[in-house]
Amino acid sequence: MRQRLIHSQDAVMLEDPDLNISTYISAPVRQRPADCLINEGDEIETGSLKLKVIGISRACRGNHCREREKV
């Protein structure tokens, strides 16, 4: 089953057109909430891959990357 993952700091933007700036660009966009919130240090397993969430400091809160564990 596919799941929608989003960083916990970005989750509110899915449902708020002012925060996801869709109101200013086009028609307001409201999406359903994510199935799972992720944070730095979390591990995500998908198939044979295991990914570790790593926080990065950028202009937008919630930016992150994933580190793949070598198997």
Number of structural domains, the chain? Answer: 1
The model's pLDDT over 39-57, given as tens digits with 9 standing for 90+, comes to 888 988 888 888 888 766 5
Is residue 71's pLDDT more than 70?
A: no
Task: Decide: pTM greater than 0.95.
Answer: no
Going by C-alpha positions, the residue among 50, 54, 58 that lies closest to residue 40 is 54
Can you tell me whether residue 2 is helix, strand or coil? coil
The model's pLDDT over 9-40, given as tens digits with 9 standing for 90+, comes to 888 888 899 988 888 888 899 988 989 998 88
In terms of residue numbers, what domain contains 16? Answer: 5-68
